[in-house]
Each structure stands twice: as structure tokens, then as C-alpha cells.
């Protein structure tokens, strides 16, 4: 019961209203005394709670003429009707709020060249999915399999509309024009961070580490950030293509030693 009460609160019920409705669904038509006893709502509050639900159309009140009993009985709105009512109201509210917020977003002055920190795994994934759907010309990516698996459907959908290029690592089925990163001692080191980059039309970008490391990412529409990180992806793609097409078996070993020297490893 606690779980369904918690979910009903997300639909706008308060604690007592949720408990009251659930109790009526369980016991059917009942008096205020019966609902109070079953739900644990104090008798001093039960009439107020029931009347609120009657006003909202969620509980049906039937007056009875019997001085020896409570003067009214209460029945719950059938569950199917309640759910349909909630769905309709949610859809209407969602549309009104969406239109209002988009209008504000398009008309209000916004700061340029933002770099924002995004926290929470679901927030970050939602941001990535929304941006991928917004792409009109091209998408550039750099990502490991862990984040790729979360966005695979959206990436392939984007690839059906716009150019998707970049590089992936340990990904079995990247979009057609996305390169696969070669396996190196560095990529297989347990301490290597699995960063990802998603750039949309060279106008917006999200980048960050793997969720296994931290649930944080960064959003930016700053042209300098976007240029530098897109250039980073291109150089990674270029090196991988050079190694792949080279006949020098020692090239990979040379790149590894040069990297260690550069980063003083």
C-alpha cells in the first residue's frame, strides 16, 4: 500500500487523500468511520479528506437517511476512470507547460557560451537523447561501449537523418561512418577513464566520464569548447586511420612510447 500511496502523491494527491482513495478501492462503498479505521486517517480529519476528494470528483458521496448510522457513504471513482482522468489532465498540463516554456525559452535573453554541469544519470541520458533528436546536419561522437549501449537506438535513428561520424571503442555495431578505435595497452588499462563526447551541428555538445566513474557530464554551446573537442575527436580518428593503413608494424609501439613520454608516464 505504501508504494501505491507514494505513486498517487506524484499525481497530486496528498498523503491522506492517497490513503483514503486506496482504502475505498479495497473496501468499496463505506462510511467515513470505516475509511478512517481501514486507512489509519484520524477521525478528526477523515471528513475533510473525503470532502476534498468529493470536490475533485475522485470520490462519490451518497447521502443516506438513517439517524442510527453515519449520514453518508462514500465510493471510489472506478480505477480505470481515475487513470484515464489523470492521463488526460497530465497530457493537457504537459502541452500547456511545454508551449509556455518553449515560448519563454525562445523569447527570453539567454547567456551565451554556457558551460553547465549536469548531474544524475537519467538527466544526462535524457539530455543526450534530446540533442540527438535535434540534430539537423551532423553529429560527431567519441564514446566507449558503456555509454553507447544506452544511446544506440537514438544514434542509429540520427544516422538515418544526418551525418554521424567519430569513433567508438569496444562497440560491435556503430553507425556506418563511425570509426572503431584500435585496441591499445592504454585503452585496456583498468585506470583509463571512459569519456564520451556528443557534438550536435557544431552548436551544442555534451561530454563527460562513464557513469561507472561519476554521474556527471557537461553541456556547452561555447564555440571554443566545441571546436577543441571536435578537433580532438578528429585527431583520434586520424591516428586510428593512419595506423590501420600503415604497413609499419612498429608504428603502434612507437605511438605508445611517444604518448608515455609526452604525459610523463
Q: Over its length of 265 residues, how does the chain's per-residue pLDDT go in tens digits?
A: 778 888 888 888 999 999 999 999 999 889 999 999 999 999 999 999 999 999 988 999 888 766 555 578 999 989 998 888 888 888 888 888 888 887 776 665 666 678 889 988 899 999 999 999 999 999 999 999 999 999 999 999 999 999 999 999 999 889 999 999 988 877 888 777 889 999 999 999 999 998 877 789 999 999 999 999 999 999 999 888 888 777 666 777 777 787 677 766 6
Q: How far is CA 78 from CA 22, 83, 99, 235, in A?
A: 11, 9, 32, 62
Q: Quote the Cα angle for 212-158-235, to 5°.
A: 65
Q: Tell me the whole-structure pTM to 2 decimals.
A: 0.61
Q: What pLDDT is recorded for position 93?
A: 87
Can you tell me the distance from the alpha carbon of 49 to that of 95, in angstroms, rounded to the nearest whole number?
30
What's the pLDDT score for residue 47? 93
CATH superfamily, domain at 115-262:
Endonuclease Chain A (3.30.870.10)
Pairing label, strands 196-200, 204-208: antiparallel
Closest listed residue to residue 136, CA positions, set 197, 200, 199: 200
Q: What angle do CA 179, 181, 187 make, to 5 degrees?
A: 160
Look at residues 179, 172, 227, 178 and name the one whose alpha carbon lies nearest to residue 199: 227
Check residue 189 and give its pLDDT: 80
Domain with CATH 3.30.870.10 in the chain: 115-262
The angle subtended at Cα 262 by Cα 145 and Cα 254, nearest 5°, is 75
Positions of CATH 1.10.10.10 in the chain = 2-77
Spell out the residues 6+ positions from residue 39 whose beta carbon is closer than 8 angstroms to its own: 16, 19, 20, 22, 23, 46
Q: Which of 208, 227, 218 is nearest to 150 (CA)?
A: 208
For the domain bounded by 2-77, which CATH number is listed? 1.10.10.10
CB 4 within 8 A of CB 22: yes
Judged by DSSP in three states, 211 sits in coil
Alpha carbons 80 and 84: distance in angstroms, whole number:
6
DSSP bridge pairs for 61: 74
What's the confidence (pLDDT) of residue 152?
A: 95
pLDDT for the residue numbered 241 = 85
Amino acid at each position: 500500500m505504501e508504494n501505491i500511496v507514494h505513486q498517487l502523491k506524484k499525481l497530486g494527491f496528498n498523503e491522506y487523500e492517497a490513503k483514503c482513495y486506496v482504502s475505498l478501492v479495497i473496501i468499496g462503498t463505506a462510511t467515513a468511520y470505516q475509511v478512517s479505521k481501514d486507512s489509519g486517517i484520524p477521525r478528526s480529519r477523515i471528513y475533510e479528506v473525503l470532502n476534498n476528494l468529493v470536490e475533485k470528483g475522485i470520490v462519490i458521496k451518497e447521502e443516506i437517511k438513517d439517524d442510527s448510522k453515519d449520514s453518508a457513504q462514500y465510493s471510489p471513482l472506478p480505477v480505470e476512470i481515475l487513470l484515464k482522468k489523470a492521463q488526460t489532465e497530465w497530457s493537457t498540463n504537459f502541452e500547456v507547460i511545454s508551449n509556455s516554456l518553449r515560448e519563454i525559452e525562445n523569447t527570453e535573453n539567454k547567456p551565451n557560451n554556457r558551460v553547465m554541469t549536469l548531474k544524475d544519470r537519467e538527466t544526462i541520458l535524457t539530455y543526450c537523447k534530446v540533442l540527438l533528436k535535434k540534430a539537423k546536419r551532423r553529429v560527431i561522437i567519441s564514446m566507449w561501449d558503456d555509454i553507447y549501449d544506452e544511446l544506440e537506438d537514438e544514434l542509429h535513428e540520427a544516422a538515418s537523418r544526418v551525418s554521424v561520424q567519430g569513433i567508438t571503442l569496444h562497440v560491435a555495431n556503430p553507425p556506418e561512418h563511425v570509426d572503431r578505435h584500435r585496441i591499445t595497452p592504454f585503452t585496456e588499462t583498468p585506470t583509463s577513464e571512459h569519456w564520451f563526447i556528443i557534438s550536435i551541428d557544431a552548436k551544442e555538445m555534451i561530454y563527460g566520464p562513464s557513469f561507472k566513474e561519476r554521474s556527471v557530464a557537461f553541456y556547452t554551446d561555447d564555440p571554443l569548447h566545441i571546436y577543441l573537442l571536435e578537433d580532438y575527436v578528429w585527431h583520434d580518428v586520424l591516428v586510428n586511420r593512419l595506423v590501420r593503413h600503415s604497413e609499419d608494424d612498429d608504428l603502434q609501439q612507437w605511438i605508445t612510447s611517444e604518448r608515455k613520454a609526452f604525459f610523463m608516464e
